[in-house]
A and B are shown apart, each in its own frame.
Chain A
Amino acid sequence: MPKHYRPAGKKKEGNAAKYITRTKAVNYLQVSLAIFRKLCILKGVFPRQPKKKVEGNHKTYYHTKDIAFLAHDPLIEKFREIKVHRRKVKKAVAKKNRDLADRLLNRPPTYKLDRLVLERYPTFVDALRDLDDCLTMVHLFAALPAVDGERVEVKRIHNCRRLSHEWQAYISRTHSLRKTFISVKGIYYQAEVQGQKITWLTPHALQQVLTDDVDFNVMLSFLEFYETLLGFVNFKLYHSINVNYPPILDPRLEALAAELYALCRYMSAGSRRMIGNSQSDEVMEDKDEKTKADGVIEEDKDVKNKASSKADESELRLAQLQHQLPTNEPGALMNLVEESTADDADDDDTKECKGLFKNLKFYLSREVPRESLLFIIPAFGGTVSWEGEGAPFKEEDEDTTHQIVDRPTQSHVFLSREYVQPQWVFDCVNARIILPTEGYLVGRVPPPHLSPFVDNDAEGYIPEYAETIKRLQAAARNEVLPLPGIGDEDLDNSLVAAMMDRTESNEAAEKKRKLEMLEKQYHDELKMEIDGVAFSSLSNKEGDKSPDAKDDTQSDREEDASKQEEKDDDDIGTALMSRRQRGLYKAMKMGKEKKKEKIELLKKRKKNTDSSASSKKRH
C-alpha cells in the first residue's frame, strides 16, 4: 500500500487538497504554459509555500483557489480567441487569401485590463503601495532604444516614455519628491504620495543594450499590466489636482524632447484656467461660456448640447449649472484654498520641499542629465532652463543663480552665478538645505555622494561626509529663527537642534581636551629627552610606579573574573534554551558578527586611506 493511500471516493484533505502543482494547474486550465504564465502575471497570482509539500519538494505549488480564480476569468477565453485568430491568419496566408488575412489582421481580438487593476487593487492606496515595481519597469522601458525591428515595439516604448513623464510631472507639480540618489545603476527617486513612500529607479539617460539573456515575453506581459495600472493611477492623480488627464502637450516642446517641461507647463496652465473658470462662474454667471469651457470635456458636451437645441436655452442653462456646480465647485474651492492657504494644506515635509530652491534660478548645460534635473529642480521649487530650443530663459539671463555644468573646465563665466556640478542638486535635495558650493565647483572631484536611504546610526558606521552634512543641517536650523506664526512643532524642532548642537559641542570639547592631554604628555616627554633625563632614572621612576602596575594587574584579574562570570552567565543561559531558540540566538549572533565585520572593514579601509593621504601630504 502506498504511503499516501486514499480509498476510492474519499476526497482529498489538507495540503493535498489546498495546493496544486504547476503542471497540474496548467493541465486543469487547458492552456499552454506560456499563456498560463501570462495569466498569472496579469492576475497577480503567485505560487505559495504549503506547510507540507505533498507532491515533492522541488515543485511549485499554487493554491487551488488561485487556480480556480484563473479558470473563471474571462481573460482565459480571450486568450483562446487570440490563439484561434492567429491560426486563422496563418491559414489565410497559407491559402494565399491576402484579403482575408489583411481583414483579420486589422481586427485582432483585444482585451482590457482595467477590471484586473481594480480587482488586484481595490483601493487607490493599495495601488500606490505596489507602484514601485511598476514605475521602475516603465522607466526602464522608456530608456530602451525605440527602434523598429527590435524586440520591443516602438509604440510601447513611446507609451512608457509618456507615462513616466506624466508621473514625474505630477510628482514635480505637487512637490512630493523626497529623496534622490545617483547610483551606478541609475537614479533612484523616492516620492511620498498619499502617505505612501514610492521608490523607483530610472536608468541613466544612455542607450540601453537589449541583451539576449532575458525573456521579453515575460517582461512585456508585466509591462502590459504596468502600463494600464500607471495610466489609471495617473488619471486619478491628475483628477485629484483638477487637470484633464490625457494631457495635450505643446507639440513643439514635445518634438524637442522636453516633454516633461511641456507637461509641467500644461499642468500649471490647467490649474490656472480652472481657477479662472470658477471665478468667472461666481462673478458673472450669465455670460457666454463658450470661451471658458473649452478645456473641460463635460462642459464641452454641454456646449454642444446647447448649440443643438437653442429652443429651451434657459432650461438647459439651469441644468448645466446644476450639473456644473457639484462637479466644479469642490475643485474650484480646493484650488482657491490651495492658492490662498497652500501652506496650511500641505504638510511640513511638502512645505520644506517646496521652499528648498525657492528664488533660485538654474541653467543646465548641454552635458548634464537634463531630464532628471528638469524633474528635480521644479519639484523643490526652483526655476530651471536649459540649453536648446524652447527653453524658458537664455543662458545670459541675469537672474540665474546657478549654472549646472559637468565638464572639466568652464570658460565662459558670469560672475553673478555659481557653476556647480549636478551632484550638488542631488545632495542639496537629500540634505534639505542649500549646501555650500565649494566642493562641487567645476573641475573638482565632488565629495562622496551618499545614499539617503541608509540609516547611518542603525548601520553603525557614519561616513565622514554624512557628519559634515549633519553639522551643516544643524547650523542651518539654528540660523532660522522661529517665526511668530509658526506652531509648537517648529519650536520643538529648533530646541532639538539646539540640544543637538550642545551635545555636539560637548563632544568636540571633550575631544579637544583629550588631544590636549596627549599633546602635553608628548611635550613632557620631549622636554625630558631634551633635559637628558637618563633612562635609568626613568626606569626608577617606573619602579616607583610599580605599585600602580600591580594594581593594574589586580584590576586586570578582577576584570578577567568578571568576564568569566559573564561568560558563565551566557553559558548557563544558552544551556537552558530550547534547541529552536538556541538556533535562532546563534543565527542572530552570527548576523551581528557579520555586520560588525563589515563595519570593521570599512573603518580599516578608511584608516588606510587616511594614513596614506597624510603620508603623501608629508612628502
Chain B
Amino acid sequence: MGQSDGEHEHEGNDLSADDSSWSDGVWSEDDNEESLSFEDSGEGSGSDGESDDAAAAEESDSSEDEVAPRNTVGDVPLEWYKDEEHIGYDIDGRKIRNVIGRGALKPTSGRQMMPRIESSRSVRGLGKGVSGKPYPRLCNARRPRLEPGTFWQRRRKIYDEYNDEEVQITKDEAKIISRLLKGKTPHTNVDPYPDYVDWFEYEDKGHPLSSAPEPKRRFVPSKWEQKKAVKLVRAIRNGWIKFDKPKEERNLYLLWGDETDTADNKRHGLSYIPPPKPKLPGHEESYNPSIEYIPSQEEIDSYQLMYEEDRLKFIPKRFESLRSVPAYEKALREGFDRCLDLYLCPRTRKKRINIDPESLKPKLPSKKDLRPYPKTCYLEFKGHTSPVKSISVEITGQWLASGSCDGTIRVWEVETGRCLKVWNVGGDVRHIAWNPSPDRPILAAVVGHDLLLINAEVGSEEMQMRVKDLLKIDEMAPQDDTDKKPAVRWMKHEKLDGITLIHQKAVSNVEWHYKGDYFTTVVPTGDTRAVLLHQLTKKHSHHPFRKLPGLPVAATFHPSQKMFFVATKKFVQVYDLQKAQLVKKLESGLREISSISIHPGGDNVIVGSKDGKLCWFDTDLSTRPYKTLKGFGLQVPS
C-alpha cells in the first residue's frame, strides 16, 4: 500500500513538472496552424478578453463550477445556431458572436483558453464534416509542442457539449475518476477498513457492565447433557447405534436345492398365467435383410397416410456392413413398454384355435349321397308370355296349374307337358292353389284384387258335374240381411263359369283346408278383415279375427288338425279353430316374414323372410326356431 502511495506521489511530481514545462516554454511556440486559426476566427472582442484573462487563469487553478455558465441559449443543440450571427447574449446584453463551428461560447477563465488539441481523429473529422472547413482555431496563438506528456494531456480532454468547449482534466482528477469507476474511495489516503476499536471494552477496566455474580450452573456439568450422553452410550453399547458401515455381502446360495420334493415345489395361490413371450424377430428385422423386405420410398410415404394404429411399428432398413449399424434409439423405450405390459396388462388364458377354418363348417352330406335328385331339365312347359307368379300341383300329381302375369291360367299335364286348358282371366294371377280334395278339381286363383274359383275341368264326368253344382251360386240372396257391407261378395263369373269373391282390398294369398271345403284368403291391408275364412259348400265367408298383432302376411291350415297358422311380419300365430283361441306364438326373430309352409306331418313349419333367412320351427320342441339358415342373399318370396 505504502509503495503504491509512493508511486502515486511520484506521478504527482511528474505532473507538476509537466505543468511547469507547459507554462515555461511550450506556449511560446508558433506554427502554421495557429496562424491559420487566426485567420479563421478573425478579430473580435473574444480574443481581447482572452488575453485579459490569461493571467488570472494562470493563477487560479479553480474548477469551472465557480464560473458562470456561458451558455445563455439553454439546452438546445448548438448546431441550430450554426448559420446565425450570434449565439444568445451575455450578461451585459451584448451579442455573443457566433464563430463558425464550435467554440463560440468562449471560456472566460484561463483554463479554458488552452489551445484546442483534438483528442482524436474522429472528432476532427466530425468537425470538418459539420463546418465544411478545416477545424477552426479560436484560441490564442500558442500551441503545445508535442512532447512526452502531451499524449496524456490529449487523453484527458473532455468535450463539454453544453458549453461547447473542451475541458482539460488534471491528472489528479483523472485519477479520482478512475478510482471511482473501479468502485474505490476517491482519495487514496482513506483507509476503508480501519482496525476495529471496541469503545465498550471493560475487561481491563475492572468494572463489568453487570455486577451480578456468575450463576452456579456455569460451573456444574449439565444434567441434561449427561442424560443425553448416557442415552447415546447405552445405545452404542446395546448396538442400537452402529458406526461402521454394514458390509455388503452377496448372499447367493443354492436356492433350488432339492427338486424332488414335489409338495413344496408347488406354487401357492392362484394359478399363474405366464406372460406371453415377446415376438421373435422375422427376416425383416435383420440389419441386412433381403431386398424384397425393404419397402420402397413410395410405400414408406404411404404409411404416413395410414392411421397411427395401422402403421407398421418397424420399418425394415438395410445396412451394408455391421460396422455401420447404429445404436437402436428405441431400445430403452421398448424395454419399458415390455415392463408395462408385464405389470399393467390384464392376463387371461385364451384358447387359440389353430385349425383349418374349413373345419368350422358343418359337415354336409356330399351331393353324391343325396342322389337321385333332378339334375337336368326334363320338361319345359312353354306357353306363358309373361312371368309365372305361382304354380300349384293337383293332389294326384297329374295336373299342374300355373298363373302368370299375362292374365292367363293354364293347366298342364305333368308327364307330357301338354297344355290342357287356358283361361284368360284378364288380370295378373298372383297366387294359385289347387283344391286338395281329389274329387273336387277346383282352382282358386288370386286375380287382381279378387279371388276366382274355377272348374279345372279335369277328371271324370261325374266329378265335373259335382263341381259344376258346387260352383253354382244363387244370385244375391243373402246379401241384404247383413248388417253392413260384407267383407266378401260371392259373385258368379259368367265367362269362365266360376265364382268370383270380390274383396274390398287386394288379396295376396289363398290356401285350402286339406278337406277341400274351406279355404282362406289373406288381405294384408284389410285391418280387422285381413284374414278371411270361406266355405265353399255354403258359399259363406267370415272373418274370425277381430284383432291381429300386426299385418298378416300369410295364413294356412294345419294339414291334419283343426289348427290355423297366421304369419304376421314377425310372428307366426297358431289358432285352434274349434275353440277359437290362440294356441301358440312362434317367434321367428326375422324382420319380415314373407311366406309360410307346413310339413304334411304338421309338426314342422318353415318360414321364409324378405331379408333372406329361413326359419325352421319344430312346434313340438319350442316356439323358437330350431334352426335358422342365412345367406340366401335374396328374399325368400314364397
Contact = CB atoms under 8 A, between A and B. Distances in A.
Contacts of A606: 290-292
A132 B347 CA distance: 18
A451 B362 contact: no
B320 A445 contact: yes
A185 interface: yes
Interface of B: 241-243, 245-246, 250-256, 259, 264-270, 272-275, 277-278, 280-283, 285-294, 296, 314, 316-317, 319-323, 325-336, 338-340, 342-348, 353, 357, 360-362, 364, 627, 629-632
Contact of B334 (A103, A185, A239): A185
Contacts of B242: 106-107
Given A47-B347, A204-B328, A183 B286 contact: yes
Interface in A99-128: 103, 106-107, 112, 114, 117-124, 126-127
Contacts of B334: 185
Contact of B252 (A246, A368, A459, A585): A246
Given A209-B329, A232-B256, A454-B282, 14 more contacts: A40-B343, A47-B345, A119-B268, A137-B339, A182-B286, A185-B281, A185-B328, A203-B331, A218-B340, A406-B321, A448-B291, A459-B282, A570-B361, A603-B292
A245 interface: yes
Given A122-B265, A573-B364, A214 B255 contact: no
Contacts of B353: 584
B632 A49 contact: no
17 contacts: A46-B273, A65-B269, A118-B255, A136-B335, A140-B335, A182-B286, A182-B287, A182-B288, A185-B334, A199-B277, A232-B256, A246-B252, A369-B322, A406-B323, A448-B286, A463-B283, A592-B357
A140 to B, nearest CB: 5
B347 A231 contact: no
B211 to A, nearest CB: 37
A1 B534 CA distance: 55
Contacts of A48: 273, 346-348
A523 interface: no
Contacts of B340: 218
A209 B269 CA distance: 41
B328 A184 contact: yes
B611 to A, nearest CB: 13
Interface in A382-410: 406-407
B339 A423 contact: no
A496 interface: no
Interface string A413-455: 0000000011100000000000000000000011011110110
B321 A574 contact: no
A341 B353 CA distance: 45
Q: Which 9 A-B pairs have the closest CB atoms?
A: A573-B361, A453-B280, A206-B327, A588-B357, A214-B336, A448-B290, A606-B292, A124-B256, A575-B631
A208 interface: yes
B256 to A, nearest CB: 4
Q: Please classify how large the interface on chain A is, using the bins under 10, 10 to 19, 20 to 34, 35 or more.
A: 35 or more
B321 A215 contact: no
A239 B627 CA distance: 66
B286 A181 contact: yes
A446 B254 contact: no
Contacts of A41: 339, 342-343
A214 B333 contact: yes
Contacts of A63: 270
A132 B278 contact: yes
A558 to B, nearest CB: 15
Given A46-B346, A576-B629, A584-B353, A367 B323 contact: yes
Nearest to B242: A107
Contacts of B252: 231-232, 234-235, 245-246
Contacts of B291: 448, 605-606, 609
A129 B562 CA distance: 72
Interface of A: 37, 40-41, 44, 46-49, 60-61, 63, 65-66, 69, 103, 106-107, 112, 114, 117-124, 126-127, 129-130, 132-133, 136-137, 140, 143, 181-186, 188, 199, 203-204, 206-211, 213-215, 218-219, 222, 231-232, 234-236, 239, 245-246, 367-369, 406-407, 421-423, 445-446, 448-451, 453-454, 459, 463-465, 569-577, 581, 584-585, 588-589, 592, 602-603, 605-606, 609
A588 B203 CA distance: 104
B637 to A, nearest CB: 18
B292 A602 contact: yes
Nearest to A179: B280
B interface secondary structure, majority: loop
Given A182-B286, A185-B285, A577-B361, A406 B292 contact: no
A63 B275 CA distance: 17
B322 A182 contact: yes
A149 to B, nearest CB: 18
A421 B627 CA distance: 67
Contacts of A207: 327
B423 to A, nearest CB: 38
A206 B484 CA distance: 101
Nearest to A220: B339
Nearest to B627: A576
Contacts of B296: 605
A132 B361 contact: no
Nearest to A213: B333
A296 to B, nearest CB: 14
B179 to A, nearest CB: 43
Contact of B255 (A114, A204, A459, A577): A114
A201 B281 CA distance: 10
A450 B278 contact: no
Given A133-B278, A203-B328, A122 B323 contact: no
A446 B288 CA distance: 8
B349 to A, nearest CB: 10
Contacts of A124: 256, 259
Contact of B336 (A47, A127, A215): A215
A65 B286 contact: no
Contacts of B255: 114, 117-118, 232, 235-236
A106 B246 contact: yes
A103 B241 contact: yes
Nearest to B244: A106
Contact of A451 (B286, B322, B343, B364): B286
A133 B241 contact: no
Contact of B632 (A235, A423, A575): A575
B603 to A, nearest CB: 21
A576 B343 CA distance: 43
B325 A46 contact: no
A28 B577 CA distance: 68
B250 A246 contact: yes
B438 to A, nearest CB: 36
A165 to B, nearest CB: 15
A188 B279 CA distance: 12
B530 to A, nearest CB: 32
Contacts of A575: 629-632
Contacts of B277: 132, 199
B233 to A, nearest CB: 15
A66 B270 contact: yes
Nearest to A45: B343
Contact of A103 (B243, B273, B292): B243
A585 B256 CA distance: 46
Contact of B360 (A65, A185, A206, A584): A584
A122 B268 CA distance: 9
Contact of B280 (A199, A245, A407, A448): A199
Given A123-B256, A211-B332, A577-B361, A130 B274 contact: yes
Contact of B335 (A37, A47, A137, A464): A137
B271 to A, nearest CB: 10
Given A213-B333, A406-B323, A585-B361, A123 B292 contact: no
Contacts of A423: 288, 322
B277 to A, nearest CB: 6
